[in-house]
Amino acid sequence: MTPHSPEQVQTLLAHALERFKKTELAAALGVDTRTIARWATGENAPKPFVGAALESLLTPSSVQFHENPDFTFIDAFAGIGGIRQGFEEHGGECVFTSEWNAFSKKTYTVNFGDGHEFIGDIVGQQGIVPAHDVLLGGFPCQPFSIAGVSKKNSLGRPHGFDDPTQGTLFFELKEIIKTTRPAAFVLENVKNLKSHDRGNTFAVIMSVLRDELGYDVYEKVIDGGHFTPQHRERIIIVGFARKTEFTWDDLILPEKTSHKLGDILHRTDGTEPVLPHDGDKYFNHAGTKVNDKFTLTENLWTYLQNYAAKHKAAGNGFGFGLVNSEGRTRTLSARYHKDGSEILVEQPGQRPRRLTPRECARLMGFDDSFVIPVSDTQAYRQFGNSVVVPVFKEVARIMKPHLMQVMAVLDAEQADLEAAGAHEDSATTAAAAAA
């Protein structure tokens, strides 16, 4: 890679400051805001890697362009684009995105660009959604997750469909499907969706999709642990606008034992790749070690041990999850930034540490080209809320043949309707002329 000249770095920095706040840019580059300010004024010169890092931040790296896409899709409740990646890999083109969280939108646009309409709140917006072949919708899971329901119950708040803000968002997807009639859809949520409210919530969803909207619908709980060393079960619901021979039996799911945590951890043997968009903010390449800030403080480690001991004595299963490079992890959650307790990495001779955001990205199946332009706290939240990317690559793979067949049927039906309309117009014109 040819080093950037000082002038080129300053130009890249100016462009970056047009897109990012100083705090966001500082977090992305692993420096403080005063350093960014000094670079911007020319008081100090950036380090050699900064030019490449800025270029990486400004260039979408995850989007896959298809000159003639096989199908189009929209990305609703997009998060940071995990579901999108799976369908782009199999020939799809995204034509519309919605995501209300500003930090997630930042990560999404840095990685995928903003070449189409991107809205925040999707509520009541079905009228502006463009025509598309597939609707992707990872609608909010908090109203249905075990942790989310437990928390809401403790606070006396409604959950599920009774949640006034998030619980009704499924019905927004329903209205979009009803209005746009895509050839297929893919919905994703937590496993607990099936058992929430003694199964009534799930029964309503399936009835809406099958009976009210008339789609051929299939559902399955898939554990992301088939693709990464993390136990992460999610329910996936796919539907087609016409009857198909789709079957989940076509899934190819690797053995869970084929993955271990060491596959995604930073390498301390000198082979850890140097990523321009990461620099040294997670890993000290000179010292070949993970940065010290990810090691738990003595106070936090003591607290977690005492907390676990208290609950063990009470017969509860609460506690931290300590793992090594040969093991597998619990489910990464959006609260990971608080104490990292569900996944703590052993460090012989010292206190355990959290995963770094880059390791979290790998645990979710994002490759190292994926840029993390936000603070550690926001990154942990984003990856904890995301999907395991390879799961959706596999779902897209087995869906595609049936999707293409349904699209062909719909095209033929539309052609027949247009032909019938043209014939009727011709007959009307002839009758008028005869009169």
Number of domains within the chain? 3
Q: Is the dihedral of CA 119, 124, 127, 130 positive or negative?
A: positive
- 48 and 101 together in one domain: no
Q: What is the pLDDT of residue 183?
A: 98
Q: Confirm whether 79 is domain-assigned.
A: yes
H-run or E-run covering 95: strand 92-98
Confirm whether 377 is domain-assigned: no
Residue 424 covered by a domain: no
Which domain CATH number covers 295? 3.90.120
Same domain, 266 and 187: no
Tell me how far apart the alpha carbons of residues 368 and 361 are, in angstroms, rounded to a whole number: 8
Q: Quick check: is 149 in a domain? A: yes
For residue range 186-213, what is the model confidence (pLDDT) as tens digits?
999 999 888 878 888 899 999 999 999 9
Q: Read off the pLDDT of residues 2-49 as tens digits, 9 standing for 90 and up.
A: 678 888 888 888 888 887 788 878 877 878 899 999 988 888 888 767
CB atoms within 10 A of CB 375: 17
pLDDT exceeds cutoff 70 at 181: yes
- Is 382 inside a domain boundary? no
Specify the DSSP class assigned to residue 45. P
- Identify the pLDDT of residue 55: 82
> In which band, very low, low, confident or very high, does the pLDDT at 173 lie, cut at 50, 70 and 90?
very high
Catalytic site residue from 28, 141, 183, 222: 141
How does 202-230 read in b/e, with b if 16+ C-beta sit within 10 Å?
beebeebbeeebebbbbbeebbbbbbbbb
Say if residue 95 is in the same domain as residue 204: yes
Residues 79 and 215 grouped into a single domain: yes
Decide if 376 contacts 337 (C-beta within 8 A): yes
Indicate whether 183 and 280 sit together in one domain: no
Phi-psi region of 133 (alpha: psi -120 to 50; beta: other; left: phi over 0): alpha
Q: Residues 85-108: what's their mean pLDDT?
A: 95
Q: Is 190 in the same domain as 97? A: yes
Residue 415 lies in a domain: no
Judge contact between 358 and 370, C-beta under 8 A: no
pLDDT for 104-150, tens place per residue? Answer: 999 999 999 878 899 988 887 778 999 999 999 988 765 454 444 44
Residue 411 is assigned to a structural domain of this protein = no
User: Are 157 and 54 contained in the same domain?
Assistant: no
Extract the tokens encoding 26: 């500082």
Indicate if the pLDDT at residue 77 is higher than 70: yes
What is the CATH number for 129?
3.40.50.150
Together in a domain, 367 and 274: yes
Domain of residue 349, residue span: 261-371
Do 311 and 230 lie in one domain? The reply is no
- Tell whether 329 and 242 lie within a shared domain: no
Task: Collapse the DSSP code of 267 into the 3-class scheme (helix H, G, I; strand E, B; otherwise coil) and give the result.
Answer: coil
Which tens digit of pLDDT belongs to each residue from 296-314? 999 999 999 999 998 888 7
pLDDT at 233 over 60: yes
Q: Give the ranges where 155-207 is alpha helix by DSSP (H).
A: 169-180, 200-207
Averaged pLDDT for residues 427-431: 66
First to last CA, the chain: 79
| DSSP per-residue string spanning 305-365 | HHHHHHHHHTT------EE-TTS-B----TTHHHH-TTSEEEETTEEEEPPPHHHHHHHTT
Is pLDDT of 254 > 90? Answer: yes
* Arithmetic mean of pLDDT over the chain: 88
How does residue 253 score in pLDDT terms, banded at 50, 70 and 90?
Answer: very high
* Residue 9, token pair as written in the block: 């770095």
Task: Mean pLDDT check: name the lowest of 141-145, 229-233, 262-266.
Answer: 141-145
How far is residue 231's CA from residue 84's CA, in Å, rounded to a whole number? Answer: 22
The answer to whether residue 360 is catalytic is: no
Q: What is residue 156's predicted lDDT score, i.e. its pLDDT?
A: 55
User: What is the average pLDDT across 271-279?
Assistant: 92
Are the CB atoms for 4 and 55 separated by under 8 Å? yes
Clarify whether residues 251 and 276 are in a common domain. Answer: no
| 319 plus 366 within the same structural domain | yes
CA of residue 49 relative to chain centroid, distance: 28
Condensed to tens digits (0 to 9), the pLDDT of residues 336-383 reads 999 999 999 999 999 999 999 999 999 999 999 999 999 999 999 999
Work out the pLDDT band at 256, boundaries 50, 70, 90: very high
Q: Is residue 425 part of a domain?
A: no
CA distances from 344 to 16, 147, 294, 353, 354 (A): 34, 19, 10, 6, 5
Classified as helix, coil or strand, 329 is strand
Q: What count of residues does the chain have?
A: 435
Task: Please give the model's pTM, rounded to 2 decimal places.
Answer: 0.83
